[in-house]
Amino acid sequence: MKISIEEFLKTGKFGSLELGTPKEQAISILGTPDSDTDLGETGSILLYAWYELFFDQELKLYSIQNDNYDPKDADSYSFKNEKIEIEPWFLNGKENQSITEIVEIFCTHDMDYEIIDYYGREAIKLASGVVVDFDEEENEHGIKPLIGIRFWP
pLDDT tens digit string along 22-31?
999 999 999 9
Distance CA(16)–CA(7), nearest Å, equals 11
Q: What is the number of structural domains in the chain?
A: 1
pLDDT in tens, 25-62: 999 999 999 999 999 999 999 999 999 999 999 999 99
Please return the burial class of 74, using the count of CB atoms within 10 Å of its CB with bins 0-12, 13-18 and 19+: middle
Non-local CB neighbours of 110 within 8 Å, separated by 6+ positions: none
Residue 47 and residue 32 in contact, taking contact as beta carbons nearer than 8 Å: no
Buried b (16+ CB within 10 A) or exposed e, 9-24: bbebbbbebebebebe
Asked if 55 and 42 count as a contact pair (C-beta separation under 8 A), the reply is no
Give phi and psi for 40, each to the nearest 5: 70, -130
Exposed/middle/buried for 140, CB within 10 Å: 0-12, 13-18, 19+?
exposed
93 is in which domain, residue-wise? Answer: 2-151
Question: What value, to the nearest 5°, has the Cα angle with vertex 66 and ends 65 and 70?
Answer: 165
CB 16 within 8 A of CB 4: no
Share of the chain above pLDDT 70, in %: 100
Residue 153: predicted pLDDT: 83
> What is the predicted pLDDT for the residue at 24?
98
Give this prediction's pTM.
0.94
- Tell me how crowded residue 4 is: count the other CB atoms within 10 A of its CB: 17
